[in-house]
């Protein structure tokens, strides 16, 4: 049997080989100083782990298609070891995960860029794995290792005696970035430029040249009954009688009856295939009966999925900058500032937002039982209500988005009290009253 120390030596040899190959490639490639720098933009220097967070090693990239939080670790962002306290790195990783481990989440590890000069020691890795107890492991649904090398496989063998079979099944090796599209919402990932360039190099080298281009058929026009992946305007045009989209109405109605006292509601995912089946039913205009699934988390995930698949967020692209700048507003003025942002929404978006936030406020009122306070709900829903027109949500924007959403939920009556003209309010009241009577 190969000893652990021998495996460690093999790992070091493999890593040195990889470094030599990368160095040769860099000599032929562009000057690194001319390339865009990494790191999260807009990060506040008052962040408790600013010394680590500023490098952009760990990023939270919103949710995947099924409501699971995406957390990314990028080796290429690791500075030389003498410039980074790896104990602090471990504490920061736990600090980040602590905000999400009560809900299902996914880890994406970009291996490219790990070198002898910046890699944590194997002793550090052992300590890290030892400190990640069950609370971190139980809700980790998948660990994707992107661009694995022999070094990774050797290290995995070193750790095999420590890793449970159940945890081992969560590991997936991903050779090319394109493969990630089969597993998660690739557009929400924060992929460092170095990793993108490395992926292009690998694909070009595949079979001696660039892979043949695959002609994708033009997208089919949406069905008249389509609910997912189409705009609110499209849904309204096809369903003139529905002020609030069918998916939101039905999920909220069911959850009002069955989900308010469910601990961790909106934190859990559901079977991926089941979610796809429900989406298909909605898109085909067929009835959906949540009772037959026997799982309150199905409508919860469907609601989040609907919001996330809107081409433009419910709160529209134009409010993103105002929300991102919320931290610059004095604390005592933030509620009125949020009210102004919400009042700037188009009428249709405002009505739907008011309906949804009224429900989330009700959920938060049951937080003693369901453990979903306004703050917890904001962590789940914030990234599903507002995002930028281009690119992903930066780490620096995540905090103001969550604060903004928490204010909308906690101070619902102050924020939404007086926006609609009487005719609109009357229409909304009739609608919500009808939903209440149907649920009764």
Q: Would you give the DSSP letter of residue 94?
A: H
Which of 39-48, 93-102, 166-175, 244-253 bottoms out in mean pLDDT, i.e. has the lowest?
Answer: 39-48
Q: Is 373 exposed, middle or buried (0-12, 13-18, 19+ CB in 10 A)?
A: middle
Task: Please tell me which residue, 181 or 159, carries the higher pLDDT value.
Answer: 181
φ, ψ at 117 (rounded to 5°): -75, -20
Residues written for the chain: 440
Token reading at 300: 């919860």
Name the one residue in this structure whose structure tokens are 């160095």.
23
The string of pLDDT tens digits covering residues 263-283 is 989 888 788 788 889 999 999
Question: In the β-sheet with 171-174, what is the strand arrangement from edge to edge?
Answer: 58-63, 69-74, 105-110, 140-146, 171-174
Give the span between the Cα atoms of 111 and 92, in whole angstroms. 19
Domains of the chain, earliest start first: 4-208 (3.40.525.10), 234-439 (1.10.555.10)
pLDDT at 411 over 90: yes
The string of pLDDT tens digits covering residues 312-348 is 999 999 999 999 999 899 999 999 999 999 999 999 9
Query: Can you give the pLDDT at residue 353?
Result: 96
Banded model confidence at residue 289, pLDDT cuts 50, 70, 90 = very high
Which of 6-20, 165-179, 259-273 bottoms out in mean pLDDT, i.e. has the lowest?
Answer: 6-20
Give the span between the Cα atoms of 299 and 389, in whole angstroms. 27
pLDDT at 432 over 90: no
Residue 103, by phi and psi: left (phi above 0), alpha (psi -120 to 50) or beta?
beta
Dihedral over alpha carbons 320, 235, 296, 270 (to 10 degrees): -70
Measuring CA to CA, how many Å separate 17 from each of 30, 45, 78, 114?
A: 21, 38, 19, 12
3-class secondary-structure state, position 240 = coil
3-class secondary-structure state, position 73 = strand
Token reading at 354: 């008011």
Residues forming beta bridges with residue 110, ordered by sequence position: 74, 146
Whether this model's pTM surpasses 0.75: no
Banded model confidence at residue 16, pLDDT cuts 50, 70, 90 = low
Query: Can you give the pLDDT at residue 351?
Result: 94
Q: Would you give the DSSP letter of residue 132?
A: S
Which of 278-287, 361-370, 407-416, 419-428 bottoms out in mean pLDDT, i.e. has the lowest?
Answer: 419-428
Banded model confidence at residue 262, pLDDT cuts 50, 70, 90 = very high
Banded model confidence at residue 221, pLDDT cuts 50, 70, 90 = confident
pLDDT at 58 over 80: yes
Name the one residue in this structure whose structure tokens are 């962040």.
47
Task: Please tell me which residue, 12 or 101, carries the higher pLDDT value.
Answer: 101
């Amino acid at each position: 049997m190969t000893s652990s120390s021998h495996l460690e030596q093999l790992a070091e040899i493999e890593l040195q080989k990889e470094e030599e190959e990368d160095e040769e490639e860099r000599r032929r490639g562009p000057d690194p100083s001319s390339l865009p720098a990494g790191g999260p933009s807009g990060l506040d220097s008052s962040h408790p782990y600013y010394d680590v967070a500023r490098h952009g090693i760990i990023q939270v990239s919103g949710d995947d298609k099924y409501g699971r939080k995406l957390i990314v670790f990028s080796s290429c962002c690791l500075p030389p070891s003498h410039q980074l306290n790896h104990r602090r790195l471990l504490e920061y990783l736990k600090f980040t995960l602590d905000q999400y481990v009560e809900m299902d989440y996914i880890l994406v590890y970009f291996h490219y860029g790990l070198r002898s000069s910046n890699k944590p020691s194997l002793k550090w890795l052992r300590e890290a794995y030892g400190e990640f107890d069950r609370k971190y492991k139980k809700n980790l649904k998948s660990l994707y290792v992107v661009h694995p090398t022999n070094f990774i496989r050797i290290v995995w063998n070193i750790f095999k005696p420590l890793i449970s079979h159940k945890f081992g099944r969560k590991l997936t090796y991903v050779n090319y970035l394109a493969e990630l599209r089969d597993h998660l919402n690739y557009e929400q990932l924060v992929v460092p430029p170095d990793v993108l360039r490395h992926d292009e190099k690998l694909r070009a080298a595949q079979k001696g040249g660039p892979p043949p281009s695959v002609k994708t058929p033009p997208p089919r026009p949406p069905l008249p009954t389509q609910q997912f992946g189409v705009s609110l305007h499209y849904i309204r045009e096809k369903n003139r009688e529905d002020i609030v989209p069918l998916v939101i109405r039905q999920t909220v109605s069911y959850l009002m009856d069955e989900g308010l006292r469910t601990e961790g509601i909106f934190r859990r995912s559901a079977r991926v295939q089941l979610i796809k089946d429900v989406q298909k039913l909605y898109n085909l205009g067929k009835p959906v009966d949540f009772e037959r699934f026997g799982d309150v988390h199905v409508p919860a995930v469907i609601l989040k999925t609907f919001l996330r698949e809107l081409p433009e967020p419910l709160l529209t692209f134009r409010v993103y900058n105002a929300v991102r700048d919320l931290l610059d507003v004095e604390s005592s003025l933030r509620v009125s500032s949020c009210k102004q942002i919400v009042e700037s929404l188009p009428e249709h978006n405002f009505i739907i937002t008011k309906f949804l936030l009224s429900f989330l406020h009700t959920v938060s009122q049951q937080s003693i039982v369901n453990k979903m306070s306004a703050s917890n709900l904001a962590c789940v829903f914030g990234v599903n209500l507002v995002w930028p027109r281009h690119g992903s949500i930066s780490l620096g924007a995540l905090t103001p988005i969550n604060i903004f959403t928490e204010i909308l939920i906690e101070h619902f009556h102050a924020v939404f009290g007086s926006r609609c003209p009487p005719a609109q309010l009357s229409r909304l009241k009739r609608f919500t009253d009808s939903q209440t009577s149907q649920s009764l």
